[in-house]
Each structure stands twice: as C-alpha cells, then as structure tokens.
A = this chain, B = another copy of it.
Amino acid sequence: VGFTLIKLDRALLTAAKLETIELQYGPDETVYEHGARAQFVYVVDEGALVRLRLLSTSRSSTSEFLFPGEGFGFEIDRNHRDTVQTLKPSKLFAARKEDLLNAATTDRGLAKLLLSAAVGAVLVAEEQSHRLRTMAATEHIALFLIEMERRQSVSRKIDLPMTRYHLADYLGVTIETVSRVLNVLQEEGVIQCLDVRHRQIIIRDKRRLQRLASDASDFDYWRKRNGRKHTTTSQDSDLCRSS
C-alpha cells in the first residue's frame, strides 16, 4: 500500500517534469504545520516522515507514515490541514503546487495521473477505516509489520523509525498494547528484535504472521497469564488463507 493526501509519488512528479527544489531535514523537524500555506507538493527521496493531525486537547492522531518514493502535501484549499514531521534525517523534493496544476491543464495524461492518485488515496483511506472497524490489536499490528516489510524492500529486515506513540496513534491502540504484542510476537519466535529499542525487526515466520493478520483469535498477548481460552485444539484452522 502506498499512501497519502492524494497519492502523489515519484513517478507522478517525474512525469510532470517540474522544476523541483531539494530539501534536507534533520530528525524531528517539521516540514509544514497545520494551517500553513499549501504552496508546495513533496516527494520523499530518503528518510522517513509522519503525517498527523494535532488535536485540540488530547494527543495527536497519526494519519500515515511516509517512505522514499511516496508523496504528500497536495491540497485543494490554500492551507494545509495536516502536519508533517521527519522521523529521521530526510531528503525531499518539492515542486510548486501551481506548477503541477498548470502542467495538468495542458497535459491530459498528467491530469489523469493526478486524478488516479487522488482516487488511489481514497481507496487506501477507506481500507484503513475498514481495518480500524474490524481488526483486533494483534491482527492490526501483524498486518502493519507485513506492510512495513513490503514498503521498505530491504528484504526481511524492518526498520521502524517511529516512536511507540506514533505507532499506537496510527493503529488506534495504546503504547502499552503495542509493546506487549511485539513482546509476545518475539517470545513466540514470529519476529526477532535486533536492537534494544525494538526498532529494528526481522520477520522469522512470515506465514504465521500472515495468518495472525487475518485471524489472531487463538493468539493473544495475555495468553500466558490466563491460559488458553479456546481449548478446541485448532491450532491451524485452515479457513483463512486469503492473501
């Protein structure tokens, strides 16, 4: 799954042949904030970023994470509705939104690409809604790990550049739950954590992880405390082999 407030990507900006500016950021810097003028659109070249909403009183809500090749920042209105921050040192390409829109009015192929990008972003956002409605914490985290592996293409090793807070806000659970689930996944040998902060992970049993992503009802992080709940000895009920 790619992403974003209109799913721009590197291919789109290349197709548009726009003048681009190269931007370098350190860790934990803000690219733009909620309310800022939306003059540019961006594509990630290196690094990792997070797109979020600042909420009134309580904590923020993470909309998505951004990796190389993925774009963000396109708005129809004059101002940004979200905030984007770097998670580690990052390199971006920025192009003027006006230039992109102008190019789209003359180049029909580009206009169609732009529309496809927007429709793609709707599909991704609706998929996320669907997951939040139906998936339990363990399933959700398992699926997240699988997608992180796909998006980072550095085979098998996953780098989680975000904090537990970002991760928890994105998945709709608490940081404690994320911590516990990752811990049990490691104890069970499904994943292996390389560093102390558990931000580098290797998937050891991808099949199992995929099964957990579609149904984790026989696998929960409190199992060790309570003992099992389903004693039906169905440790591999073959019904969910969808993906």
Contact = CB atoms under 8 A, between A and B. Distances in A.
A29 interface: no
A181 B231 CA distance: 34
Contacts of A122: 5-6, 118, 121-122, 125
Contact of A123 (B81, B105, B169): B81
B172 A119 contact: no
A116 B58 CA distance: 31
Given A125-B129, A132-B172, A242-B56, A76 B108 contact: no
A99 to B, nearest CB: 15
A105 B115 contact: no
A192 interface: no
Contact of A133 (B61, B118, B134): B61
Q: List the number of copies, as a whole number.
A: 2
A129 B64 CA distance: 11
Interface in A71-95: 74-76, 81
A115 B58 CA distance: 33
Contacts of A193: none
Interface residues of A, number: 42
Given A128-B129, A132-B133, A74 B242 contact: no
Interface string A46-76: 0000000101111001010000000000111
Contacts of A63: 126, 129-130
Contacts of A123: 5, 81
A240 interface: yes
A55 B242 CA distance: 11
Contacts of A172: 132-134
Interface string A159-200: 000000000010110000000000000000000000000000
A105 B128 CA distance: 31
Given A61-B134, A115-B115, A125-B125, 6 more contacts: A58-B134, A63-B129, A101-B112, A114-B115, A122-B122, A132-B132
8 contacts: A5-B126, A56-B240, A57-B240, A58-B134, A63-B129, A81-B123, A122-B122, A132-B172
